[in-house]
Structure 1
C-alpha cells in the first residue's frame, strides 16, 4: 500500500503541474470562446476597429509614448475607422466617439452620468469625491459644492489672481534677465502661477512651506501618469494584481503622502478659523468704526467646506480632503496648461498677439499695473476669442469617459450597458468636418457672428451637460485675468515660426511633452487709449 502511495506521489510530482496548467489553459480557452460569443461582445464588435488579441486586446497598439497614443486614438484610428469605433483594453471594451452629433446623446443624458471604470483608478486617492461618484451621492455633493463657485465667491478670488499675476511677471522678468534674447521654457513659470493660485484659493493663504507644496505637486503629477500607465495594461485592471505591482506600490506611496499633506492642512485651517472666530468675537466692539477700511474677507474653498461640515453631519474631514484634493488636481494642471498653450499660440501668430495687446491697452488705458477687475475682464472680447481658440486646439482635458448603465443607440449601432464610452474632445476639436482648416489658429471662429449655426457640442473644453466642469467659470476668469496682466507687460515670440505646431502629450491633462520654449521680451512702449 505504501509503495502505491509513493508511486502516486511521484506521479503527481512528475505530471501534476503539467496537468494543472493544461486544465487551466483549456478553461481559459473555453471561457474566452464563451465570452467572445456573449451579447455585449458581439454588439461591441459590430463597430469597426483595430484587430485585437485574446486577453491583451489592443495593448500592443496602445503601449506607445503618450504623444503617439494621442495621435493614434484621436486621429489615425478615426481616419481609418470613422467617428465611432471600438478598442479593447484586455476584456474591457471602449466605444470611441469623435463627433458632436455622436457625443450629444451621452452629454445631455440625465441617466448616463456614471464615470467609466478607468476613473476608479483615482479612488485610492480621491475616494468618493463628486468627480468620481454618481447617483444620489453625486447630486447631493454637487448641490453642496455649487455655492462655492457662486460669482460672489469668484469675485473674492480676483485679488488672488492679480497678486499671483504680479509674482508671475517677476519670474518672467528674472528669466528675461538670465536668458536675454534666447528661448526659455515658460511652462514651469505658468505652472507655478497656477499652483500658487489654486493653493491660496482652495487651501488658504498659509498652506504649507514651499518645499512641502513642491512635494505635494510632484506626487499629484505622478498620480496622473500612473493612471494612464495602468489604463493600458490589462492585467493591472485587477486590484489584487495592481496592489502588488511596482506601479501599485508607487501609487500607494503617493496617496499616503498626498493624504498626509491635505489632512494636516485641514487640521491647521480648522484651528486657524477657530482662533480667528474667537479673536473676532473678543474685538467685535472695537472694530465697528473701522469696518469700512477693513480688507474684504477672503474665504478659501477649504474654509467653505469646513463651514459646511459644521452644519452637515454627513460631511466629515475625509469628505473635505477628497474635495480639496479634487480641486487641486482638476484646477491646477488644467489652467497651467491652458495659459501655457495660449502664450505659445500667440507667439506663433504675432498678428493676433498684436490685436490682443491693442485691446488690453484700450481697456486699461495704457496702465500696465492697474489690477484687472471682473468688469475689465468682461470687456476683453478678443482675448476671450483667443483663449477659446487655444482651448479648441489644446483642450486641457483631451477626453472624458462614461460607463453606460443602459443600452443606447448611437450612430446606427447599439452600445450595450457596461461598455465604457470615450468622448474624444481633442480629436473632435480638430475634425475638418466640425472646423474648416482645423489646425490653424483662427480666434475669429469664436466671434458671435461666426458661431451662428455651430453645433452646441462642437466646443466642449469643460465637457457639457449635467456633468460639466463645476469650476469652469473660475478657470476662465483666472485665465483671463492672469493673461490680461501679462499681455500688458510682455511680448512673446518663437525662434522659428516656420516650425509645425507642438504636439502635446496625452496624460489626464494635455501637456507639452518637452515644455514650451519662447522668447519673452518686455514691452518698452504701451499704446495709450485713443
Structure 2
C-alpha cells in the first residue's frame, strides 16, 4: 500500500510538469499558427521546420553582419524572422516602419533576452515597463540635466589623463594598443566617478579587472543563449556550464553595486545635515533622494537595479563607440588630420590641455566623425519591443504580443537610406545633410519616450576622450591585424581592436 502511494506521488510529481509543458507547447503552436497567417503579407525567406530562420545566420560575427546587410538589400523595408517555428519577430529597417513603434511606449519583450537579463539588471529602466517604467524614468531624468552633467567634464578629463598615460607608455615602446579593453576600463573609471563618486585604481589594474571581465562574459552568454534554442528552456540553461557561469558573474556584479551603495549610505549617515557640498551631484545622490508625487522614494532593490543598469549601459556601450571611432580615424588619415586641426585650434597653448564644457559645443567636425562612427559600427546593434496592443503598420495589423526587432545596424546600412553604406564619410552628418535627414533614419540612442536617458552623458564623454587622444597622438592601423566584429549586447571584436600610436 505504501509502495503504491509512493508510486502515485512520483507519478504526480512527473506528470504535473509534463502536463504543464504540453499545455504550454500547444498554446505556442496555436499562437504561432495565428501569427503565421497574420504575417503572411510581410516578406520572409523560406522557413526550416525546426530551426525557423536561425540556421541561416552564419554567426554573431562579420559573416552574420554581412548576412544582415545582404538581407536588407532583398527586404529593405521589413521582414519576418522566425526564431524556431514557434517564435516570430518582425525585423524593421526603415523610418516609416520604426517611427510608430518608437513614438509609442511599447515595452521591452517579457521573454527571451530582456527577460533573461532580469537576473543581471533587475527591473531597471532598460527592462521595466508600464507605470513602474514611467515613474522611475521621471525620477531619474533630473540626473541627466545639463546642470548635473556640466561638472562631469572635469571627471572625463581626469579619466582621459590616466588613459593617455597608458597610451604614452605604449607609444614609447612602439607596441600596438588594444583599444576595447583599455577604453572599457577608462569608461568604467569615469562612470564610477561621475555616477557614484567612487574612485578606484581601475585603469591601473589593467585588462584583468574582474568587473569588466564579468560584464563581457555575461553579454556573450546572453547572445549564445539567444542563438541556441534548447538554452531557451530555463532548466537546461541553469544546468549548462554557461548558465552556471552567468549566475556566478551576476552575483559578483551585484556585489560591486551593493558595495558602492552601502558605502554611500554610510557616508550620508556620517555627514548628516552637516554634509559638505560635494564637487558635483551624482547619479547615486538622485537615486537615494528621489521621491515621486506621493513622497515615495526608490526601494533598495530599485536602487540596485538602476545602478546595475547604468553601470552596464553607461560604460560598455560608450567603450564600444569610442573604440570603433578611433579605429575608423586610424583607417582614414585625412579625416583624422582634419579633426586634429579642429581640436588643436581649441587646445593649443593651454597649460593643462583639458577640454572644457564650452569646447564640447565647438567641435562640429569631431561630432560628425563620432556620429558617422556610430552609424557605421552600431555600438548597440539592435533593440526589441513587444506589442502590448494591436498596431497597424504599413497596412498590416500586427497582433498584441508580437516581438519587434528594431535592427539598428541594418537601419544604418540600409541602401535605400545610405549610399555606399560601408564607406566612412563624416560629411553625412554635416548640418545641411542632417537638415534633410529623417530623424528616424539614424538611431544610435534609439528614439521616442524609451530612448537612451544617458545619451548626452555619452556624447560629451566621447568628445572629451577622443579629442584628448587625437591632440596627443596620431593613430594608425596595425598592418598585421584587421579586427573582426562580434555581435553581442554591444558591438565588440572577436580578437581585439589594435592601433599604433605616434606622439605628436
TM-score, L = length of structure 1:
0.84
- Shifted more, 450-459 versus 309-318: the winner is 309-318
What is the aligned partner in structure 2 of residue 237 from structure 1? 232
CA-CA distance at 1:33 after TM superposition? 11
Measure, in 1, the Cα distance between the counterparts of 2:88 and 2:160.
45
1:187 corresponding residue in structure 2: 180
Q: Which residue of 2 aligns with 1:17?
A: none
1:35 to 30, 39, 43: 30
Report the equivalent of 1:521: 502
SS of alignment partner, residue 505 of structure 1: strand
Which residue of 1 is the match for residue 46 of structure 2?
A: 51
What's 2:210 paired with? 215
Matched, 1:297 2:279: yes
Secondary structure at the residue paired with 2:290? helix
Match of 2:189 among 185, 196, 215: 196
* Native 8 Å contact 1:36 1:42 kept in 2: no
With over 3 angstroms needed to count, the CA separation of the structure-2 counterparts of 1:34 and 1:270, relative to structure 1, is closer
Q: 1:511 aligns with which of 465, 485, 492?
A: 492
Deviations 1:425-453 (A, max 9, x none): 11111122111221111111111112232
After superposition, residues 137-176 of structure 1 pair within 5 angstroms as 137-176=132-171
Residue in structure 2 matched with residue 385 of structure 1 by the alignment: 368
Change in CA separation of 1:408 and 1:171 when aligned onto 2, cut-off 3 Å: same
1:99–1:503 distance in 2 versus 1, CA, 3 Å: farther
Structure 1 or 2, whichever has the larger Rg, is 1
Runs ≥4 residues deviating over 6 A: 208-213
Partner Cα separation in structure 2 for residue 192 and residue 467 of structure 1 = 27
**Alpha-carbon contact 1:49-1:77 (below 8 Å) kept:** no
Kindly indicate whether the alpha-carbon contact (under 8 Å) linking 1:160 and 1:197 is maintained by their aligned counterparts in 2: yes
CA distance in 2 between counterparts of 1:198 and 1:37 reads 43
Aligned length: 483
1:214–1:313: structure 2 CA closer, same or farther, 3 Å change rule?
farther
Within-5 A mapping of 1:53-452 = 53-62=48-57, 64-72=59-67, 74-90=68-84, 91-110=86-105, 112-115=106-109, 117=111, 118-178=113-173, 180=174, 183-206=176-199, 214-277=209-272, 280=274, 297-308=279-290, 313-367=296-350, 369-452=352-435
When the two structures are superposed, what TM-score results if normalisation uses the length of structure 2? 0.88
Question: Which whole-Å CA distance do the structure 2 matches of 1:32 and 1:405 have between them?
Answer: 18
Give me the CA root mean square deviation: 3.0
Shift of 1:495: 4.2
Change (3 A) 1:70 1:247: same
* Cross-structure match for 1:14: none
Q: 1:75 to 1:366 in 2, by over 3 A?
A: same
- Give the whole-Å Cα distance in 2 for the aligned partners of 1:33 and 1:187: 41
Q: Is residue 89–residue 233 contact of structure 1 (8 Å, CA) maintained in 2?
A: no
Distance 1:35 1:45 in 2: 16
Residues 366/411 of structure 1: CA separation in 2 closer, same or farther (3 Å cut): farther
SS of the residue corresponding to residue 432 of structure 1 reads coil
SS in 2 for 1:434: coil
Give deviations 1:241-275, integer Å, cap 9, x for gaps.
43333332222111122222221221112112222
**Structure 2 segments unaligned to the other structure (5+ residues):** 1-14
Task: Say if 1:124 and 1:312 are closer, same or farther in 2 by CA, change over 3 A.
Answer: farther
Is the Cα–Cα contact under 8 Å of residues 368 and 488 in structure 1 kept in the other structure?
no
Please list the CA deviations of residues 149-170 of structure 1 after superposition, one character each: whole Å capped at 9, or x if unmatched.
1111101211110111111110
Residue 34 to residue 119, structure 1, CA distance change in 2 (3 Å): closer
